[in-house]
Amino acid sequence: MPAVSALEAQEWLIEKVAHRLGAEQAEVSPEMYFDEMDLDSTEALILAGEIENWLGFELSTTTLWYHPTIKDLAAHIAEESDRRATSA
């Protein structure tokens, strides 16, 4: 599977978060912290599962803690995706 870019990951995350919040994608800032988005723990777990299904690999359970914004998480996803694509 080809690596996912940070921009692709950011756009995907914005789309998913906007859908979960019932908001327009333009209303979801990549700089906004996940805990400011009113996502409850169940929704966060569902989002994590969707990310894993999309990427084809599992993220650590602390990923959202260490990468608390869409922008940070997208950069982490791109790094992890690139690392896995080059080692495959």
pLDDT of amino acid 60: 83
Per-block average pLDDT, block size 10, for the chain (88 residues)? Answer: 91 94 94 86 84 90 87 96 88
Q: Which domain holds residue 60?
A: 6-87
Classify each residue of 40-71 as buried b or exposed e, where b means 16 or more C-beta atoms within 10 Å of its C-beta.
Answer: eeeeeeebbeebeeebeeebeeebbeebebbb
Whole-structure pTM value = 0.89
User: Does residue 1 belong to any structural domain of this protein?
Assistant: no
pLDDT of amino acid 79: 95
CATH number of the domain at 16, please: 1.10.1200.10
Question: In the chain, how many domains are there?
Answer: 1
pLDDT of amino acid 16: 94
User: Does residue 66 belong to any structural domain of this protein?
Assistant: yes
